[in-house]
Amino acid sequence: METLRYPHVQETLYREVLSNGLEIVVLPKEGFQKTYATFSTKYGSVDNHFSVSGQEPAKVPDGIAHFLEHKMFEEPEGDIFSVFAAQGASANAFTTFDRTVYLFSATEQINENLTTLINFVQNPYFTDANVDKEKGIIEQEINMYRDNADWRVYFGLIDALYHTHPVHIDIAGTVESIKQIDKETLYRCYETFYHPSNMMLFVVGGVNAEEVFQLVRANQDAKTFQPLGEIKRYFDQEPSSVKIPRKVSKLQVSLPKCMLGFKEKNVGLAGDALLKREIVTKLMLEALIGPSSPLYQSLYEQELISDSFGHEYNSSTDYAFSVIGGDTPKPDTLIEAIKSAVSEAVGSGIEQTSFERAKRKKIGGYLRMLNSPESIAGEYTRYRFRDSDMFDVIKFYEQCTLDEVNARLREHFDFGQLAVSIVEQGTE
Amino acid sequence: MSAFQRGQLERIRLHVLPTNRFKTFAISLFAGLPLQEETVTPVALIPFVLRRGTASTPETINFREKLDDMYGAGFGFDVYKRGDSQIIQFKMDVINDAFVSSEHSLLASSIGFLGDVVTNPLIENGGFRAKYVEAEKETLRKRLEAIVNDKIRYAAERCIEEMCADDPYRLHPLGQRSDIAAITPQSLRETYDQWLNDAALDLYVVGDTTLEEVTKLVRGAFQLKSGSPSAYKHPVTQHDVTEVKNVVDRLEVSQGKLNMGLRTGVGYNDALYPAALLYNGILGGYPHSKLFMNVREKESLAYYAASRLDGHKGICTIQSGIEFANYEKAVAIIKEQLESMKQGQLSDLEINQTKAMISNHLREMQDSAYEMLSYDFNSVLTGKERTAGELLKQVQDVTAEDIVAVAKRVQLDTIYFLRDRKEA
What SS3 class is residue B37? Answer: coil
Chain B contact set for A33 (CB, 8 A) = 363-364, 366-367
- Rounded-to-integer distance, Cα B13 and Cα B29, Å: 10
**Does the distance separating the beta carbons of B22 and A371 come in below 8 Å?**
yes
Size of interface A-B (CB pairs under 8 A): 185
Q: What is the pLDDT of residues B330-360, one digit of tens each?
A: 999 999 999 999 999 999 999 999 999 999 9
B142 touches chain A (CB under 8 A): yes
Q: What is the pLDDT of residues B123-161, one digit of tens each?
A: 999 999 999 999 999 999 999 999 988 899 999 999 999
Whether B2 has a pLDDT exceeding 70, the answer reads no
ipTM of the complex, rounded to two decimals: 0.87
**Does the distance separating the beta carbons of A81 and B288 come in below 8 Å?**
yes
Q: What is the mean pLDDT of residues A140-154?
A: 93
What SS3 class is residue B145? Answer: helix
Lowest mean pLDDT: which of A328-337, B84-93, B100-109, B284-293? B100-109
Contact B155, B318 (CB under 8 A): no
Contact B212, B18 (CB under 8 A): no
Q: What is the pLDDT of residues B189-220, one digit of tens each?
A: 999 999 999 999 999 999 999 999 999 999 99
Chain A contact set for B129 (CB, 8 A) = none
- Rounded-to-integer distance, Cα B57 and Cα B49, Å: 13
- Rounded-to-integer distance, Cα B205 and Cα B218, Å: 11
Q: What is the pLDDT of residues A165-214, one digit of tens each?
A: 999 999 999 999 999 999 999 999 999 999 999 999 999 999 999 999 99
Residue B341 has what pLDDT?
97
With a CB-CB cutoff of 8 Å, which residues 42-71 of chain A face chain B?
none
With a CB-CB cutoff of 8 Å, which residues 10-29 of chain B face chain A?
19, 21-24
CATH topology of domain B245-419: Cytochrome Bc1 Complex; Chain A, domain 1 (3.30.830)
Contact B274, B289 (CB under 8 A): no
How far is CA A382 from each of CA A379, A391, B299, rounded to the nearest angstrom? 5, 12, 36
- Rounded-to-integer distance, Cα A35 and Cα A84, Å: 14
Whether B71 has a pLDDT exceeding 60, the answer reads yes
Q: What is the mean pLDDT of residues A389-393?
A: 93
Residue A253 has what pLDDT?
92
- Rounded-to-integer distance, Cα B147 and Cα B173, Å: 12
**Does the distance separating the beta carbons of B146 and A327 come in below 8 Å?**
yes
Smallest CA–CA separation between A39 and chain B, in Å?
19
Residue B98 has what pLDDT?
79
Whether A390 has a pLDDT exceeding 70, the answer reads yes
Chain B contact set for A91 (CB, 8 A) = 287
**Does the distance separating the beta carbons of A137 and B296 come in below 8 Å?**
yes
B366 touches chain A (CB under 8 A): yes
Contact B277, B388 (CB under 8 A): no
Domain B5-221 listed as CATH 3.20.20.80: no
Helix axes A183-193, A64-72, angle to 10 degrees: 90
**Does the distance separating the beta carbons of B360 and A90 come in below 8 Å?**
yes
Chain A contact set for B146 (CB, 8 A) = 253-255, 327
**Does the distance separating the beta carbons of A294 and B151 come in below 8 Å?**
no
Q: What is the mean pLDDT of residues A385-397?
A: 94
Instruction: Tell me the torsion sign for CA atoms B171, B174, B175, B178.
Output: negative
Give the HSE-up count for residue A53: Cα atoms under 13 Å, Cβ half-sphere: 4
What order of strands is seen across the sheet that includes strand A418-425? A246-251, A418-425, A257-263, A320-327, A310-315
Mutate to test the interface with B, among A170, A288, A361 (most CBs of B within 10 A): A361
Residue A269 banded pLDDT, cuts 50, 70, 90: very high
With a CB-CB cutoff of 8 Å, which residues 209-248 of chain B face chain A?
none
Whether B1 has a pLDDT exceeding 70, the answer reads no
CA-wise closest residue to A425 among B251, B137, B177: B251
Q: Are the folds of B5-221 and B245-419 the same? A: yes
- Rounded-to-integer distance, Cα A241 and Cα B86, Å: 51
Residue B424 has what pLDDT?
52
A298 touches chain B (CB under 8 A): no
- Rounded-to-integer distance, Cα A111 and Cα A87, Å: 10
CATH numeric code, A2-233: 3.30.830.10
Residue B423 banded pLDDT, cuts 50, 70, 90: low
- Rounded-to-integer distance, Cα B307 and Cα B328, Å: 18
Contact B405, A72 (CB under 8 A): no
CA-wise closest residue to A237 among A192, A261, A262, A268: A268
Lowest mean pLDDT: which of A254-258, B73-77, B221-225? B221-225
Chain B contact set for A107 (CB, 8 A) = 359-360, 363-364
Q: At B78, which amino acid appears? A: D
- Rounded-to-integer distance, Cα A350 and Cα A360, Å: 15
A362 touches chain B (CB under 8 A): yes
A302 touches chain B (CB under 8 A): no
Q: What is the mean pLDDT of residues B6-31?
A: 95
Whether A286 has a pLDDT exceeding 90, the answer reads yes
| Phi, psi (degrees; rounded to nearest 5) at A40 | -120, 145
With a CB-CB cutoff of 8 Å, which residues 71-110 of chain A face chain B?
79, 81-82, 85-91, 105-108
Nearest to A364 among B60, B95, B303 (CB): B95
With a CB-CB cutoff of 8 Å, which residues 371-410 of chain A face chain B?
371, 373
Residue B99 has what pLDDT?
80
Whether A396 has a pLDDT exceeding 90, the answer reads yes
Whether B374 has a pLDDT exceeding 70, the answer reads yes
What SS3 class is residue B187? Answer: helix
Give the HSE-up count for residue B388: Cα atoms under 13 Å, Cβ half-sphere: 21
Q: What is the pLDDT of residues A314-323, one digit of tens each?
A: 999 999 999 9
Residue A4 has what pLDDT?
95
Cα–chain center distance at B382: 14
Residue A11 has what pLDDT?
92
Residue B414 has what pLDDT?
98
Domains of chain B, by residue range, sit at 5-221, 245-419
A11 touches chain B (CB under 8 A): no
How far is CA A273 from each of CA A6, A312, A412, rounded to the nearest angstrom? 21, 19, 16
What residues of A act catalytically?
69
Q: What is the mean pLDDT of residues A368-386?
A: 94
Q: Are the folds of A2-233 and A246-425 the same? A: yes
Mean residue pLDDT across chain A:
95
How far is CA B43 from each of CA B49, B178, B180, B184, B301, rounded to the nearest angstrom? 11, 14, 11, 13, 42
Nearest to A252 among B152, B252, B353 (CB): B252
B369 touches chain A (CB under 8 A): yes
Choice between A219 and B225, residue whose per-residue pLDDT is larger: A219
Contact B111, B217 (CB under 8 A): yes
Residue A31 has what pLDDT?
86
Domains of chain A, by residue range, sit at 2-233, 246-425
Residue A427 has what pLDDT?
83
B292, closest residue in chain A (CA to CA): A81
Mean residue pLDDT across chain B:
95
- Rounded-to-integer distance, Cα A203 and Cα A217, Å: 14
Mutate to test the interface with A, among B254, B257, B293 (most CBs of A within 10 A): B254
Pick the CATH number of A246-425 from 3.30.360.10, 3.50.50.60, 3.40.50.300, 3.30.830.10: 3.30.830.10
Contact B158, B317 (CB under 8 A): no
Nearest to B68 among A33, A137, A361 (CB): A361
Residue B104 has what pLDDT?
77
Q: What is the pLDDT of residues A15-54, one digit of tens each?
A: 999 999 999 999 999 889 999 999 999 999 999 999 998 8
Residue B224 has what pLDDT?
85
Whether A129 has a pLDDT exceeding 70, the answer reads yes
